[in-house]
Amino acid sequence: MATGENIFKRKDGRWEARYAKGYDFSGKIIYGFCYGKTYREAKEKVTKCRAELLAEKTSHSISDHIFSWFCDEWLKTCRKTNKPATYVKYSTILDRHIKPALGKCRPTELTSSAVDEFACTLADTKCLSPKSMKDILVILRSILKYAQKRFPGTFSSVEIEYPKETRKEMRVLSRQEQHKLSLCLLTDIDPCRFGVLLALYTGIRIGELCALRWENISLEECTIRITQTMQRLKDIGKTDGAKTTVLIDTPKSERSVRVIPMTEHVSKLCRQMMPQDRTAYVLTGTQNYMEPRRLQYRLAQFTKACGLEGVHFHTLRHTFATRCVEVGFEIKTLSEILGHATTTITLERYVHSSLELKRDNMKKLSAVGF
């Protein structure tokens, strides 16, 4: 007998190996048996049986879990690899949409038809936009891929069809509207009005502006360094889900950390507005920050005062990008100034050709006889 292994040499010359298959109702061990002509053969067989039994038990225990458990396991991995804002976004989508609808499903119940029904609910009952639906379904797909990789055979293959997104034309200020807004902001200018002008003239995002301090603006080099962004996020550490907190962190991508050259006009404005305390926030001129939703409210006041409608903060960014294209900016340069990961994002989402630019380009055809 091999001590501690439950492998014995029988009287008939064969080797017998025992392993625990389970327990009966009284708690007594139920054994399985393997036989071999040699000790090695018996040991190899029992090792294989134990491994198969363990895999079967693991498979059964995993498949007993409902889909919410897999969602939570996936979310744990996201916390290690994603920024807080992304993690909160994922957590919110799970809590609001995926877990309430699919959380109680067993792995065998999560089929392509179940996902199709879920998608229809998002569109018909919750009336979500195609963009929001796609965001939710992309996360659902990521969870399923994670589960299939970590727990092979637990889920069947699920087909997910994403809704077609219709491109919504973004509001862009005409040159006349831009001039009107600029005059309005320059009248009785203060740090907040200056900040809005800075966004219009450089295309920086609202969160980047809220986190911007004067120490990041160099009058000697005529540049602005974007190194941080500000967001108000749900504080997932609180027991009350409604609690939020303001987070100042590095921007959402490596390309968003960038240096933006300033025009002479913007540099003059900076010289006019720069306080003695270089660590002060640009939007306030003090150590107190202004958060994004407060800035959005102030922008609404400014645009209303000068008679402009439908202007949101992102309108300023789109307007800046459009002006750059109109004056012949090289797209790669514009993409880097805007902090985009690729030039494709710049072209597809932020470049809006005005009627004036289209006319100018059509006139170029005259030179070749059109």
**Which is higher by pLDDT, 176 or 363?**
176
Which residues are CB-neighbours of 54 under 8 A, at least 6 positions away? none
The pLDDT value recorded for residue 152 is 82
Mean pLDDT calculated for residue range 263-273: 94
What does the pLDDT look like over 203-233, one tens digit per residue? Answer: 999 999 999 999 999 999 999 999 999 998 8
Phi and psi at 16, nearest 5°, equal -115, 130
| 17-46 as b/e: b if 16+ CB within 10 A | bbbeeeeeeeeeeeeeebebeebeebbebb
What does the pLDDT look like over 132-143, one tens digit per residue? Answer: 999 999 999 999
The pLDDT value recorded for residue 29 is 79
What does the pLDDT look like over 29-80, one tens digit per residue? Answer: 788 899 999 999 999 999 998 888 777 665 556 767 899 999 999 998 888 7
| Burial bucket for residue 116 (CB in 10 Å: 0-12, 13-18, 19+) | middle
Query: Does domain 175-363 fall into CATH 1.10.443.10?
Result: yes
Nearest residue to 196 (alpha-carbon basis) of 274, 295, 318: 295
Residue 83, pLDDT > 60, answer: yes
What does the pLDDT look like over 96-138, one tens digit per residue? Answer: 999 999 999 988 888 999 999 999 999 888 989 898 999 999 9
Strands 217-218 and 223-226 come out as antiparallel
Residue 347 Cα distances to 169, 205, 318, 342, angstroms: 13, 17, 11, 9
Q: Which of 22-31, 108-117, 172-181, 342-351 has the lowest mean pLDDT?
A: 22-31
Q: Which CATH architecture is the domain 67-150 placed in?
A: Orthogonal Bundle (1.10)
What predicted TM-score, i.e. pTM, was given to this entire model?
Answer: 0.72
- Reported as a pLDDT band with limits 50, 70 and 90, residue 25 is very low
Domain boundaries, the chain: 7-63, 67-150, 175-363
